């Protein structure tokens, strides 16, 4: 029961019951450690990122992990936009076309726009 000087958020309790799922996971820019800033308030992660717009300088293979032998998710044509959310080593994690499939591309094939 709340007293007149308490807000509902001060008395409510919430439980985490496991990982959140989405019907279009390949299109949901979220990992265990990072998510797109637009998902703040919808998913719980330690960090949120503002996308950095880039463009592919050549044709590329979008991968499911930051390594050359990872699962192939899609083929991406030169000139396509790619919103980078994270850079680690020689790999960029982000979103094709701003709202497309999420995955990893070689950093060397991206230019800032």
Structure tokens belonging to residue 38: 């637009």
Q: Render pLDDT for 29-64 as a digit per residue (tens, 0 to 9).
A: 999 999 999 999 888 999 999 999 999 999 999 999
Sorted by where each starts, the structural domains of the chain and their CATH numbers stand as 51-112 (2.30.30.40)
Count Cβ atoms within 10 A of the Cβ of residue 101 and give its class: 0-12 exposed, 13-18 middle, 19 or more buried. middle
pLDDT at 68: 95
* Predicted confidence band of residue 71 (pLDDT cuts 50, 70, 90): very high
Instruction: Name which residue leads in pLDDT, 51 or 8.
Output: 51
Over residues 79-89, mean pLDDT: 97
Nearest to 34, CA basis, from 15, 50, 22: 50
Per-residue pLDDT, 98: 83
Least confident residue range of 8-17, 24-33, 94-103: 8-17
Q: Is 83 exposed, middle or buried (0-12, 13-18, 19+ CB in 10 A)?
A: buried
The pLDDT confidence band at residue 23, using thresholds 50, 70 and 90, is very low
| Nearby residues of 67 by Cβ (< 8 Å), 6 or more positions away | 91
**pLDDT at 42 (0 to 100):** 86
């Amino acid at each position: 029961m709340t007293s007149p000087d308490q807000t509902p958020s001060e008395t409510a309790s919430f439980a985490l019951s496991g990982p959140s799922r989405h019907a279009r996971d390949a299109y949901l820019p979220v990992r265990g450690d990072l998510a797109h800033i637009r998902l703040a308030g919808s998913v719980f992660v330690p960090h949120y990122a503002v996308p950095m717009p880039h463009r592919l300088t050549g044709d590329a293979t979008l991968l499911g992990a930051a390594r050359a032998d990872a699962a192939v998710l899609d083929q991406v044509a030169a000139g396509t936009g790619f919103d980078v959310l994270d850079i680690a080593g020689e790999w960029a994690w982000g979103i094709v076309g701003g709202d497309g499939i999420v995955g990893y591309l070689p950093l060397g094939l991206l230019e800032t726009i």
